[in-house]
Amino acid sequence: MSDTDANTLVDRVRDGDIRLHELEDHADADTAATARRRLVASETGVDLDVIGSYGFPADRADANIENMIGTAQVPMGVVGPVTVHGGAVDGERYLPMATTEGALVASVNRGCSVIDAAGGATARVTKSGMTRAPVFRVTDVAEAEALAGWVRDNEDRLREAAEATTNHGKLDDVTAYVVGDSVFIRFRFDTKDAMGMNMVTIATRAAAEVVETETPAALVALSGNLCSDKKPAAINAVEGRGRSVTADVSIPREVVEEHLHTTPEAVAEVNTRKNLVGSAKAGSLGFNAHVANVVAATFLATGQDAAQVVEGSNAITTAETRGGDLYVSVSLASLEVGTVGGGTKLPTQAEAIDLLGVAGGGDPPGSNADALAECVAAGALAGELSLLAALGSRHLSSAHESLGR
């Protein structure tokens, strides 16, 4: 790349010869990004030099961004190591977290140390499957009922059409929902180690074509919001989406008192009154303290779709005393993660996934994404434990003050 090349592109955009989004058609990705950044900087009067200081070739992000001008650099920290006894991961792991919220990593790290002092967290993926739910228009309720019956009777035909579009995805089940003259058909796929949103969208389109060919129904939208992607939804809390994963730990009383400076009873009461009663009064879909913090930070660090924090933080935290000790669990109903595809291929995110030991496709397929989900759940458990204890000991504000946040 040369300054002359970039400046020439800037002039061509200003002259109307080419459009801003067409720069990569006329130069390599780095030159295009530089030209675009210079044009925007000159027209806005804003210095974009830091945004333009990135540490990998711009073409590595071709599949992830359009109109690239640089990168947003978010500080990344690490918590742990924490021991996770999972179905797909077993042993100590460092958990990478990218965030701008001071005290978050310190708080989760404290929770990890307590979990380790108690022998580690247990974690399991209890259900998996990525969904897409197109909506069809029919004439009336009778036709809607007939379509729902047709779907039940022809699941094998829909599976054949859907699976013909992918080498990895498998259609697990199909369910029809009737609302007047609208019929929503919710497809759930096993996407192995991919988060799989693109995979299931393409596969569902093929299945929807069969529905239109074989029935009177007309496809209105390939996504009818019953999926439900990137929106708060009770169906995800109940039926799950992506990975449904739970982590728990039993902590001896002396560990709670020594490391958290509170008691099992205080932590359990805070959880009941805050996470359960308070959330119910608020009409919340999530019954937790701050699971979104850990989910968002690990998503940014490992290249997951950041918007899916909406579903990923749909979690319930429980806490109770057992024989004088403290039992805590966190259950994430719809954690959408993958270790291949999407942002996982970006250089810094790829390193973070490698740090967790779950890079690429797993053996057997799906095991790496399961392991990532279990690690995220363990981190969420650590975050819940630490915050509940801080509230129980009334140390929350002092912790932020001491860390200068």
Active site positions, annotated: 101, 305, 400
* Of 222, 220, 221, nearest in space to 138 by CA: 220
Listed in sequence order, the residues at least 6 apart from 136 whose beta carbon sits closer than 8 Å to its beta carbon are 147, 182, 183, 184, 185, 208, 211, 212, 217, 218, 219, 220
Cα gap 231→178, rounded to integer Å: 21
**3 state SS of 165:** coil
SS (H, E, C) 318-366: EEEEECCEEEEEEEEEEECCCCECHHHHCHHHHHHHHHHCCCCCCCCCC
The DSSP 8-state label assigned to residue 315 in this structure reads: E
Q: Are strands 90-98 and 135-137 parallel, antiparallel or unpaired?
A: unpaired
What share of residues in the chain are helix, strand, coil (percent, to 5)?
Answer: 45, 20, 30
**3 state SS of 194:** strand
C-alpha torsion sign, points 367, 371, 373, 374:
positive
C-alpha torsion sign, points 405, 251, 354, 88:
negative
Which ranges constitute the DSSP H helices of 15-153?
Answer: 29-44, 104-117, 141-153
Cα gap 366→208, rounded to integer Å: 26
Which ranges constitute the DSSP H helices of 169-306?
Answer: 197-214, 234-239, 253-255, 264-270, 279-282, 291-302
Torsion of CA 204, 208, 211, 212, to 10 degrees: -170
**3 state SS of 402:** helix
Cα gap 302→284, rounded to integer Å: 28
Q: Which helix (H) or strand (E) holds 5?
A: helix 3-14
